Amino acid sequence: MTSECPVPIDVQAGGLPVGLPETMATLRIHEFGAPPRLDRVPLPEAGPDEVLVRLAASVVGHHDLTIAAGTFVVRPSLPYIPGLEGAGHIARIGTEVDPDAFAIGAAVRVYGGGLGAARPGTWAEYVVASGRAVTAVPESLDPVVAAACGSVALTAWTAAIELGALQRAERLGVTGASGAVGSLVVQLAALHDAKSVVAWVRTADKARLLPAGVELVTGDDPVEPVDLLVDTVGGPLLAKRLGAVRPGGRAVLVGYTAGEEVSFSLPALMAADVSLLPLNMMRRRPPKGLEASLVGDFAAGRLHVGIEAVQGHDVLEAIARLQRGAVSGRVVLEW
């Protein structure tokens, strides 16, 4: 990859396009398992029911790296443009798109609809998305935050509120609480008036990422039993943390950053009567309007996510740091 920055934005201060270029800069995967290359490709055309978005920020996430490694169930045809998620301004709309719903120059985020897997993704200056993958965001919201906030907040909400069915007076436990999903589970629990929250983190310095009042635990010290565990780290730690769930409680399994394998005593699990609930966001359809509502919480300062913003020439180092678990929060590529 070259060290030059991608081309300048062709959007005026008010967000209106001043003419579209014929080509765009993009990061493309040419070989599974190999780093992306900075390429210049023709500007994509929006179909009748699609929207062309000039991206200002694109997320580089765990899932992007799994697809780029070639180990995900969907293997895009090479070369392909990764990127499940991003934010920017609408540059063009298809002939069948409602112009009242998607105005040229409006601030939006894009996510879903096969972006970065079944169709070209957001690691580019422009992306074409179907209308259902486009969500309006407040103009005041920094595009870097608009890009970073959506999928992790949807995952956290689905894990804790929908699948985990967290109730007001309940006590919650969260592993990987300093991570993007984990910290949002903690914040959502506070917004839902959970009784108390136990946050397992690797090091005490991660406390700065969490709201006041959270019980921070760094080791295997015993804790008061929790009603609901949201586990984002998996591996052998899951077996240990299950011991903190009260009999009859629930445990939602979100991720396995600490390992893919775990063993535990089935008699002990059955005696405790803890329900294990695996989360698969690919199969979930969050309620209509939820994404916009959560984005509104970020714009209003009620939710926060850690972000490392990088320029194109730094993306390889950022990917390496993400792969070795050295990033706290989300990596966002700025165009």
Ligand X SMILES: NC(=O)c1ccc[n+]([C@@H]2O[C@H](COP(=O)([O-])OP(=O)(O)OC[C@H]3O[C@@H](n4cnc5c(N)ncnc54)[C@H](OP(=O)(O)O)[C@@H]3O)[C@@H](O)[C@H]2O)c1
Q: Among residues 281, 290, 309, 316, which is the contact residue for ligand X, using CB under 6 A?
A: 281
Q: Among residues 6, 173, 182, 312, which is the contact residue for ligand X, using CB under 6 A?
A: 182
> Cβ-closest residue to ligand X?
179
Nearest partner of 262 among 273, 272, 251, 271, judged by Cα: 251
What is the CB neighbour count within 10 angstroms for residue 288? Answer: 9
Min dist CB 269 to ligand X, Å, is 20
Q: By CB under 6 A, which span of 113-121, 171-179, 220-228, 265-273 interacts with ligand X?
A: 171-179
Contacts of 115 by beta carbon, 8 Å cutoff, 6+ apart: 83, 84, 85, 121, 122, 127, 129, 133
Regarding 254 and contact with ligand X (CB under 6 A), the answer is: yes
Q: By CB under 6 A, which span of 21-29, 141-149, 250-258, 292-300 interacts with ligand X?
A: 250-258
Nearest partner of 145 among 313, 306, 323, judged by Cα: 306
Helix (H, G, I), strand (E, B) or coil at 175: strand
Q: Among residues 38, 124, 181, 197, which is the contact residue for ligand X, using CB under 6 A?
A: 181
Q: Among residues 12, 275, 280, 323, which is the contact residue for ligand X, using CB under 6 A?
A: 280
Regarding 258 and contact with ligand X (CB under 6 A), the answer is: yes
Give the integer Cα–Cα distance in Å for 248 and 268: 12
Radius of gyration of the chain (CA): 21
Regarding 206 and contact with ligand X (CB under 6 A), the answer is: yes
Give the integer Cα–Cα distance in Å for 77 and 30: 9
Alpha helices in the chain (DSSP H): 62-69, 143-157, 180-191, 235-242, 266-272, 290-299, 315-323
Min dist CB 66 to ligand X, Å, is 8
Min dist CB 99 to ligand X, Å, is 34
Min dist CB 21 to ligand X, Å, is 33
Q: Which chain residues interact with ligand X by CB under 6 A?
A: 62, 152, 155, 176, 178-182, 201-203, 206, 232-233, 237, 254-258, 279-281, 325, 327-329
